Every structure is written in structure tokens, then in C-alpha cells.
Structure 1
């Protein structure tokens, strides 16, 4: 249900909370076709000290932002502070070889996608003194060893709006979609309903106090128009930038994240995580290959259930990790899942199309509770009406409010009217008395709808993904759109009462929730490191991770699941991501719950420390288990005579590869199950360059690799073509000549 509809709807249910924005008294937005002209209006409204709040990722209005930034760069009397998160940037190579590799890919995959001028300024160190860019969430790893570490703001996603207000933001702007029906224009907050739904009413309050405020939308016809909470009236904005009235105007393409490659290890993490999902439950996931791996294995569970269970049996999952049987399952999804995730990734659309994401939730506590108790279903019959009467949602003698309520949720069809105490459908009528047998028969025959309306299978706060994901959203029909609700991050990320739904209804909707997130490292006491390094350098940000973990502990049937790769290479050295201790954490040990690596599942919630330590050691890479156990024993956290059970001592890459290869040969898994953004040439080169980077990360490794390259065979036509692709067919200096030999050797393997 849209925010606009909610303003006009009435409900007899006491849990219903209407949006309080005073929409009817606000004038419509002023539509402007040129970004520079809009900058003039903004300055005239708020002055030359501009504190600009921008949403995450693709919701940034690039034309407006670039015009504001360039104006401030030209006019030092303007002070511009940009407050935002996740600035998306096209990949750029550092060396000539990297640039040669990336340029054709970038030209193809990011055609028509503009750069954010302030991001280019940060990279070239040309941001003027009168401009500051502060982010609360970095694109992962984008600002390590960068001056931007100075301007990072650490906050939970749900506190971002509060922090923007504290910082004095006076302009908020975002990319929107637009539609006009029956002469009425509405806008969709689309990819970023996350902060705007809460922020706009607060900005209105500041305006009422006499402060100069500008709320701006920039129209882009490539943005999918999302319905429900995301659809707002044109008077929610002060200004709309819409260049589509200009001749030869063409809206720029949205930034799309290429399909991520899923490694064998990631697939194993996805497989283990998928058997923790409960049919009839709730799912939250993040972005990246670990999320894609979970989606893939969940699809296998649904579509190839026999093979799925064969995989679990071979891994001895239920004997080694009984938590799967206790909180998850291995069957198909008959009731289905409901998605409740700050980030709506493309995986949710895959699950929807596969008939997995299908459990509908409703904006009414009584209806939701009755569905949870299996007293009613989504198909309507007379028992639906009687159960609502028994629950006290409607009266025996139906009132006008009761009829509106029943029609709103599709229990009564649209033709039903209440006139002077009687129900009417066209020429037919009867007493509006639920205790009258004849009336019940009449209602069954004439008044009932077919199915509950207003059901939603997905609540999200923002989205980003590959181009085919955006196209899938644009291709949604009316029924599809009605089931996907982009909404406030404060609605999704916590359980507190909100203008769009209180805590009771949120909890009723989010039964058997599995909040699945990714971490970089985990310590043996169960603390998780996800956003920053030991020295304080920020890799990404907290975002909503803490919110979801805390939320999982507030609902008795919910669980937090942290996916962590067991080990990684750093500076050419293999190190464990399961550590004895670390100087920083994102999730403290008292919120520990379930941790998943490629070697299995550790169930930590409510367990004493000696169990927590040993459970995590059991799913560590076996090359590090001995050291971790010794550290734990030395600290007195594990008994001196404890030995790791034999079935957990073969946690090796070789074991992973053997299992993975067996099932890839049968047509399962694979690095790009959802499509590939790279050509065959790029895949070959990318794999070889990545391998070389790992092998030459240390001086010893570099010497060994060069020595082997000296005996490499003469390149054939295939390799010569690949060398030309990265400009190494004619090396320009000694370094490139050596690199050429190394690459030839790697491509010859």
C-alpha cells in the first residue's frame, strides 16, 4: 500500500498507524529541466552554506550533485559538505596492463553511466578546500590508506537520519522514478526509500521553523518505479529536476554491479547456510558472492531437492551440525519465505521467480496473527470473516469502518456497499449481521473477494545489482509490483514502533527470521569483525549489520547467521580469519550466534566459552587449528586434555575441491550461475593475473615465479591474442617484459 493510500485509508484495527505527513497542505514541487538552474534555486533557498544529504549507491542524483560540486569548485564563496554513503565508482586500473584489461570491460558494462565528479576529485586529490565529503559507509576497501578515513562517520544505518539532522543538513536529494496516471503525477523513491520516508517529514518541520530547506528529486526514466511505500505525491519535494522536456535529452544509465564470481569456498558457505533456512520463515541477506552463493543453494534445495539432500548427506551435515535440524530444514519451500532486508539484492528476484519468496505478510496485526496461527489463509471464504469477528477486528453488526477494512484487504469485493445498515451488491442486499445465518449465506455468495489483497513478500530499504536485475524490476507487472515494498530502513532494520508499522506487527511478520550477514573475521570468543581493521582503518561500515544481529536476539525464533571465509591471503601470506583475538570488533561477543565457514557451522548462542571456542576451532582451516587450540588452552578457555574430533580435522582446500569438482561435473555450482559480465578472454586473463598477484606478493614468491617463467613455452596464437588484449604483445620496458614472461607461463598452465 502506498504512502498516499495510507493517508486516505481508515481502519478499525487499533494497531494501524497512519503516516502523519501533512501532505494535503503542501504545494506541488517546482519542476526544473536544467541542473545549473536548479543549483541557483537551491542557493536562493538555503544560501551558500550547503549541507547536502545523499542516499546510498544508485540513489544519488548525479546530474544535480555534479552541478553543485562544480559550482562550488568554481565559486569559493560556496561551502559544500556532502554527507552520504557508498559512492559507486567505475573500476580503474593502476598499471598500464590493468588499464588495458579494464578499459574495454568498463566501456561495455558501464556505457552511459556518469562519474560522480566529487569521487573523481577525491581520487585525484583535487577537491577544493570549500568542499568536504563525509561517508558513513565506504564501498568495501575503497578508501584504505586514504585521507577519507578522516571524514568517515561511524553509525548504524538506522541512526543515519538522526546524524544528518545533527549535522545541520539543509538539502536532501535523490534519484526518483516518475509516472503520470489520469493526470496525477507521482514519484517513486524506488532504489532508496531507506531514509527519505523519515527524512522528508523532519525537513518539513525545519521549514515550519523558518529554516531554508530544499528537498529535491531527480527523475531518471531508467529507474524502476516501485510501488507501495515508495510511491509518494509530487508535493513531497520542493524541486524536481526532470530534463525529459528538453529536446535530445537522454537519462543516464544506472550504475550496475557486475555479476560476482562465486568460488568453491563461497559455494560451500552458501550450501551450509541454506540448510539453516526454515520454510515459512523470513530472510535477510547482504550483497556479494556469499549472498549469491546462498541464493544458489537455496534454489538447488527447491528445484533439485534429491541432489541437495545427497550433498548434505555426503557432508554428514546433520550429524556434525545438528543445529540445521533444530532451526532449519532440507525440504522444499511449501509455505515459502518472506524477505525483510535493508538491501534488496537480485537474489530475492531469483527466489521470487522460483516460487520460494512467496510468503505474504500484511499491514494488519489481526490478519497477520490469524495467518501465523493458520486460522485463515490468503484465499478468502466466509470463515475469514468469522475469524476476524471472533478476533475482535470487526463487529457482528458491520459498520462503515468494518466494510472499508474488509474491502481494503480484499475480503469483501469492491462492489460491496453499506447503506442504512444493509449490505448491497448491485441490486442484491442483506442485513449486515454476522450472527444472521441468511446474511452469512448471502455474503458468501455475493460479497466475498477471492484472495487477501495487500500482501507483501519483500520489504527492502535500498537496492543495487546487475543490469538484468534492474530490467527484471522494470518488467514487473502490477501483481509483482504489489508484492515488493521498498520502505524505510527504520521499518526494516529494527523492531521499534514506526509510522509504517509498530513492533507487534513487525514481530508477527518476521517469524523464524534468519538474518544472514558477512564478516571479515571472527575471534574465538564469538566477536565478529566486519567493518574495520585493528588499526582503526575502515574497510566499509557497520551499516545495518548490528541492527539485524540485535534484532535476531529480540525474537525467540530468529537467528543471526554470520558467513566468514575461514582464511585469506594478505600480503602474500595465508592467514586464518578465525583468530584468537583482535583489536576491534563490529559485533560483540554477547551477541554471538551462528557462524558459517566453508567447513561448517558453529552454534554459539547461549553456550559457555569453552564450547564457543571449540565450535569455532572445528570450522577453522586445519592448517590453523593446532595454533588456535594451543592459544585457547593457554588462556584457560579450553580444557588441557581437549582434542579436536577426527571428523573436523580434514578442513582442507583439497577436501573442498574434491566435493566441488564432483558436483560441478554433474552441472551444479560453477563461478557464474546467474550470468557472467566478462568475456571468455577476460575470464582467462583475470584468472591468470589474479594468480600471478598472489604468487608474487612476497619477495620469495616473486623469485620462484620468475624462475619458473624463464622456462615457459613460446606463446601460441591463443596466448598472443590475450597478450595483445592487455598490451603485452609489445612490452615497453623491462618490468613489462618480465610481466609478459610471467603471464605467458601462467596462461600456459
Structure 2
């Protein structure tokens, strides 16, 4: 059992036991014990002779706006939603470029977009595939790890790694090997009262940790509120949802496009007629052959299995709706039976004949019987004596499973496979409602969601035969922000070298899609963007950096359709991407490809794809409004905040702050304040004080008039 320490005593112990530089590993995202980390950081700041390097990822800080309208919108929302969440002091200093000389922070994934202009963070970024992070951190000599854990009074010998077994499960054995060789390595755990106790692989013995903080953490868990799902996002999700095959495997990422995909899958299951009607108008049958070959339009009779590094709220919503329900099993023998159709939807063995159909030997021997009993598939009250099975009442049956009498006699002794799960996830992070729903699940319900190490999820190596059976018809669906006409994709870094977020596990999943039979990588892309009133294409001829090289190109989906790039020639790839490109940019892209000799001089794009314009999609939105919900998975924003967020986004996209003439015109055309009194009160602009606030008020009113829905 770990020794109980106060926060300060734990720091004293660490400083005493680790004599040289401290190499601290912290989980990405939610699993950091922030108060203890802050106390350690404060102590090290006052000890310039001690060196501290923090290795982590996705350091979470409250959304911030420096001034103006965004600050007026954010401050009350942040206060309400993030409550007493303790900020990471080292992150605050990093953002201000004020880290002390004896402290470094190295991250392998950044909170998206938050550190683009921070030189120190950019210089200390580590580019690693997610599945390689444990190896890389161990090589750096980590000698201290600290993590939030969950506890269950009925399981006093164990902790749950809960939200973050991802790196820890892979790293702990490496640390133990180094400790056995004589190195000093300390592991710190702090219980967080709000974290659910996730069992399975995430359940570890308490003695894996040396130090347990005696104070349980009760502060607000950091949440990521659902952001609005735009028309672009919804159309992308609809197209992608047609490529998911019933009975298959699903991986999705966080963000509005992932929420849109979830909403489309829920509609495919719950409103199949409406779903099909919308798709017919959206697609016009253009990708019918691809959909039939790769996915489908019917509801999910067999259900999906989730294999996703991130357990997002959308996956929980799919499980609640009965879409995510195909169970997989940790033992190869049991999974072989499941894959052969030997179980019903609850994992119960359907018949003795189903064992034979799945390849179980005709004649039961002692080892086979023991294996089936250990897996719960046959009652442990059965005994084998020679060539006969003995039932509890003494009745004897032939051990030949083909014998009709044996098949009938064993029907009441068939059992249910244990340990079946509908999802393997590496970490979770999401809105407050997601945590609440997890906390309300029973132990049995939680057991269907297995949190585990990232190498299990992101790689096929180790237990490859088992994983191949589990991950049938896998669809690995992730987002990108740019794709070149030759099929290279960009998701993590700008072409000038600045890191937006990180490669994470995207490359892992793309490579896996090419290695697994019948698997596909599907990359989601908004075909165009608008910044400061300037519209540009996200499908480009070339880009100075790639995340996914073009030789791994597979499927790209935009709001305009589906481009299947696998195995295509360069000219075919270009044509497929032009077909899902916004028509405002097609001509110039065709010209670039022709100049490079990649398209013939007389190339003409199929006329069916020459009306890829937002106006066509907007008409569909008006007609099928029920399937274009702005927050399909719920929202932490109240009604006024949803309206204001839409208005502020409109202002940001349309105008630069330097374009005062255009801003002034918009302000002059704004409606009267009494049209939106609650919205102005929410922004503190109901009674503007001075010219600046009067101008702010007019801008907000203009944005509300342009974007507020009935």
C-alpha cells in the first residue's frame, strides 16, 4: 500500500529521495493532480539549484480572451462552467514566457492553437506518435510520475487510472524494470472524488504507487464544452456516416466534426427514413457504389465496437442509443467464437452447434472443457469422465458435441462470456454532462467501457491475432485542416513549422487502416474557410508540411462528398478531390495541376460537381432542419449565449478589427437595443458607458441580427 502524505510532505519526500534533476511525467489532459504539481513547481521555483523537467501533453487551461467582446462573453461562462478548477501555474508562466531557468516543459501534444506564438513551447515540443510516447519518455529518464486516480470502497486494494491509463499502463512496466535495476523512481497518486472507477485494464494495485496524497481532490473536472456544429460540419458528418459498416469498428476524435458524425449515425439508426431522404438530396446518388462497397445506409442491427484513443461523449451517446453494442473479448478463443457468430447480443452462447460452427473440436477433451468453463460459456458443474460428460444430477451425455442428445442436454448449461466490452479507450475528456452520465452508470454498465493502454488501441503489434478479429471493418475517422491535390494531409502543424496541436495518434490509425483487412482511414475536411472576410480553399496544390504522406492516402470527406483515393493514379486522385472541392476554387486548382503536367490540357470536371457551393447546402438545411441541430449532443451554453456565440463568430469571420469602415457600416445597420435586451444584459452592454461600449453594443446587435435563428 502507498504511504499517505500531505501535499507538502510528499514534496519533501520527493526532494529527499531524488537527489539530481527531477524528470516528472504527467498524464495528458484530465489526469494531472494540479494542486500537487503547483506546490512542487512553487517549491522548485525557490530552489534554483534543483532542475525540473515536466513531460506531458494537452495542458488544460480555462479559455481566455484578452479584451473586448470576447472577454465579455467568456468571463461569466468560464466562471460558471469551470468553477474551482485549479489552473496549472507552470502553464500560466509558460503562456507568459516566464518559466524560471531551472524548469522546462516538454509536450507531445498542445492544446490546439493555444501556443502557436509561444517560442518556448514551440521549441520544446516533442513530435512522437502517441503509441511511441511511453518509450520516448522512458528514454528521457523519467524518475517521477503523478496522476489522478479513482477509488472504490469495495475494492480497497486497487486504484483505477480512470481517465488516463493511456500512457501510464505502457510506462509503468518500463519504470519498474529500471527501478529493479537500482534507479530511484517515485509514483504519486491522488484520488479525485468525481472520477469514475473504470475497471478492467485501468484497475491497478495501489502498491504500484509509492505515495498517496491524503487529501482527496474535489475540485471541478476540466471540461471541453460542445461547440456549435455548423452546416459544413453536418454535411461532412452525413457523408462520413455512410461509410460506416454495420458490425464494424469505429474510431472518432473530439470536435464539431466528430459530433456531426455522431449525430448522423444517430439519425441513421433512429430516423432512417429522414436520414435517407436528406442523403438522396445531398449526394444525388453520386457515391452509391462507394457506399455499397464500403459502408451502408441501413440502421445498425448488429452494432459497432469502438476502438478509439479518446473516449469522447459522442461514443457514449452512440452506446446509449444502441449503436455501439458489438462486444469484443480479451481471450482469443472467446473472440473467435464471437466472430463466428456463436453468441447472442448479450454474449450468451446460443447453442452447442454454434461451438462446432466456430471450430471447437467435435469431441470435448479436458483442456477444451476447462477453457469453455473458465470463459463462462459452459457451467462449471459439468465434469468429464472419459468420453462422457456428467451433469450435476448424474446424467451422462456423450462428449461428442455432434450427438443430438448432447446438444439438447447441454442447452440449459450454456453460459455468457464474461469481460465483453463495447469500447476500448485510452483517455477521456469532454463536457460536464459527459462526466455526469459516466458517474451515474452502474459498475456493470461501466464495465462495458474498457480504458486501457494506448499501444493496445493504436497499434496492431502484441496480440495481433486478437486485435484483427476485434477490429473488423474498422473505420478510423479523424479531422484535418488541409489536403493537397495529390492526397497529402495536414492536421498538426503549419507550413512555417509552428505546431498547432500534435500528431497524436492520427498516423497510427492511418497506418492501421492500411494494415487491417477491410479497414479504411477517413479524413474529414472543411473544404473552405473564412477568416477576416477572406475566403480560401482548404484543398490546395501544395503545402510546406504534411502529417499523412500521400502514399498513405485513403478517403477524404468534405461537405460536398466523398473522395476514395486508395490505389488511384495521381490524375484520378486530383479529379476525386476536385469533385469535393468548393466550386469557387476548382478552376485555379485545375490550372495548377495542368501546369505541373498532372492533368491533361483538355481536362473537364464532371458537371455534376461544378455546383459545390454553400448556397446549395443552405437550401437543404432549410428543408431538413431537424437533422441540422446546432448542438446535437447538448450544450453548456444557455440560449442567449448560443445566439451571442453565433454572432461573435460571424463578426470575427467577416471583419478585421482594422477595417473600421466596414465595422462602422455594420454598426450603423444594427437593430435597436430593445430587440435583444437579454443578450445585451448578458454582455454587460444594456447601458453602454462611453463611445467604446456604444460601439460594442452596435456590433453585437449587428451580429445578432445577422445570425439569430427563430
TM-score in terms of structure 2 length:
0.94
Out of 240, 243, 248, the position equivalent to 1:273 is 240
Out of 14, 32, 35, the position equivalent to 1:60 is 32
Quote the offset at 1:37 in angstroms. Answer: 1.4
| Distance in 2 (alpha carbons) for counterparts of 1:571 and 1:97 | 16
Quote the offset at 1:152 in angstroms. Answer: 0.6
Quote the offset at 1:328 in angstroms. Answer: 0.5
Deviates more, 1:600-609 or 1:563-572: 563-572
- Residue in 2 that maps onto 1:169: 142
C-alpha spacing 1:385/1:626, structure 2 compared with 1 (3 Å): closer
Quote the offset at 1:746 in angstroms. Answer: 3.2
C-alpha spacing 1:445/1:503, structure 2 compared with 1 (3 Å): closer
Q: Does 1:709 align with 2:667?
A: yes
Out of 348, 361, 372, the position equivalent to 1:379 is 348
Quote the offset at 1:180 in angstroms. Answer: 3.0
Q: Does 1:495 align with 2:460?
A: yes
Q: Does 1:234 align with 2:201?
A: no
Quote the offset at 1:640 in angstroms. Answer: 1.3
Quote the offset at 1:614 in angstroms. Answer: 0.9
C-alpha spacing 1:721/1:388, structure 2 compared with 1 (3 Å): closer
Cα pair 1:527 1:589 within 8 Å, conserved: yes
| Distance in 2 (alpha carbons) for counterparts of 1:730 and 1:443 | 83
- Residue in 1 that maps onto 2:444: 479
Q: Does 1:361 align with 2:328?
A: yes
Q: Does 1:262 align with 2:234?
A: no
- Residue in 1 that maps onto 2:410: 444
Q: Gaps (5+ residues) in structure 2?
A: none
Quote the offset at 1:370 in angstroms. Answer: 3.7
| Distance in 2 (alpha carbons) for counterparts of 1:533 and 1:304 | 40
Quote the offset at 1:168 in angstroms. Answer: 1.0
3-state SS in 2 of match to 1:363 = coil
C-alpha spacing 1:726/1:433, structure 2 compared with 1 (3 Å): same
| Distance in 1 (alpha carbons) for counterparts of 2:376 and 2:690 | 73
| Distance in 2 (alpha carbons) for counterparts of 1:150 and 1:45 | 30
C-alpha spacing 1:735/1:390, structure 2 compared with 1 (3 Å): closer
Out of 597, 620, 642, the position equivalent to 1:683 is 642
Quote the offset at 1:459 in angstroms. Answer: 0.6
| Distance in 2 (alpha carbons) for counterparts of 1:276 and 1:132 | 44
Q: Does 1:673 align with 2:632?
A: yes
3-state SS in 1 of match to 2:584 = helix
Q: Does 1:210 align with 2:182?
A: yes
- Residue in 2 that maps onto 1:138: 110
| Distance in 2 (alpha carbons) for counterparts of 1:748 and 1:295 | 30
- Residue in 1 that maps onto 2:375: 409
Q: Deviations over 1:585-610 (max 9, x none)?
A: 00000000000000101010000000
3-state SS in 2 of match to 1:31 = strand
| Distance in 1 (alpha carbons) for counterparts of 2:255 and 2:281 | 27
Quote the offset at 1:445 in angstroms. Answer: 5.3
Cα pair 1:397 1:432 within 8 Å, conserved: no
| Distance in 2 (alpha carbons) for counterparts of 1:441 and 1:605 | 47
3-state SS in 2 of match to 1:324 = helix
**How many aligned positions are there?**
703
| Distance in 2 (alpha carbons) for counterparts of 1:287 and 1:416 | 48
Out of 562, 568, 579, the position equivalent to 1:607 is 568
Out of 305, 315, 318, the position equivalent to 1:348 is 315
Q: Does 1:113 align with 2:85?
A: yes
C-alpha spacing 1:554/1:743, structure 2 compared with 1 (3 Å): same
| Distance in 2 (alpha carbons) for counterparts of 1:516 and 1:725 | 38
- Residue in 2 that maps onto 1:158: 131
Residues 173-572 of structure 1: pairs in structure 2 closer than 5 A: 173-181=146-154, 184-244=156-216, 251-320=218-287, 322-374=289-341, 377=344, 378-383=347-352, 386-387=355-356, 390-391=359-360, 396=363, 398-399=365-366, 401-416=367-382, 428=394, 430=396, 433-434=399-400, 437=403, 440=406, 444=410, 447-449=413-415, 451-497=416-462, 502-572=463-533
Q: Does 1:625 align with 2:599?
A: no
Deviates more, 1:100-109 or 1:559-568: 100-109
| Distance in 2 (alpha carbons) for counterparts of 1:188 and 1:419 | 43
Deviates more, 1:183-192 or 1:150-159: 183-192
3-state SS in 1 of match to 2:648 = helix
Cα pair 2:458 2:508 within 8 Å, conserved: yes
Quote the offset at 1:634 in angstroms. Answer: 1.1
C-alpha spacing 1:438/1:735, structure 2 compared with 1 (3 Å): closer
| Distance in 2 (alpha carbons) for counterparts of 1:43 and 1:103 | 38
3-state SS in 2 of match to 1:541 = coil
Quote the offset at 1:713 in angstroms. Answer: 4.7
Q: Deviations over 1:397-452 (max 9, x none)?
A: 532x5444223322123555679998676554647834695983686156322x32
Cα pair 1:190 1:226 within 8 Å, conserved: yes
- Residue in 2 that maps onto 1:25: none
Deviates more, 1:727-736 or 1:186-195: 727-736
| Distance in 2 (alpha carbons) for counterparts of 1:315 and 1:690 | 26
Quote the offset at 1:705 in angstroms. Answer: 2.8
| Distance in 1 (alpha carbons) for counterparts of 2:99 and 2:368 | 60
Q: Gaps (5+ residues) in structure 1?
A: 1-27, 245-249
Cα pair 1:389 1:396 within 8 Å, conserved: no
3-state SS in 2 of match to 1:178 = coil
C-alpha spacing 1:702/1:661, structure 2 compared with 1 (3 Å): farther
Q: Deviations over 1:560-583 (max 9, x none)?
A: 000000011234421100001101
3-state SS in 1 of match to 2:238 = helix
3-state SS in 1 of match to 2:627 = coil
3-state SS in 2 of match to 1:315 = helix
C-alpha spacing 1:434/1:40, structure 2 compared with 1 (3 Å): farther
| Distance in 2 (alpha carbons) for counterparts of 1:211 and 1:443 | 60
| Distance in 2 (alpha carbons) for counterparts of 1:622 and 1:676 | 33
C-alpha spacing 1:324/1:75, structure 2 compared with 1 (3 Å): same
Q: Deviations over 1:217-274 (max 9, x none)?
A: 2111100111111111112212222414xxxxx6112111112210011000000000
Q: Does 1:596 align with 2:557?
A: yes
| Distance in 2 (alpha carbons) for counterparts of 1:317 and 1:513 | 26
C-alpha spacing 1:253/1:709, structure 2 compared with 1 (3 Å): closer
Out of 699, 705, 710, the position equivalent to 1:742 is 699
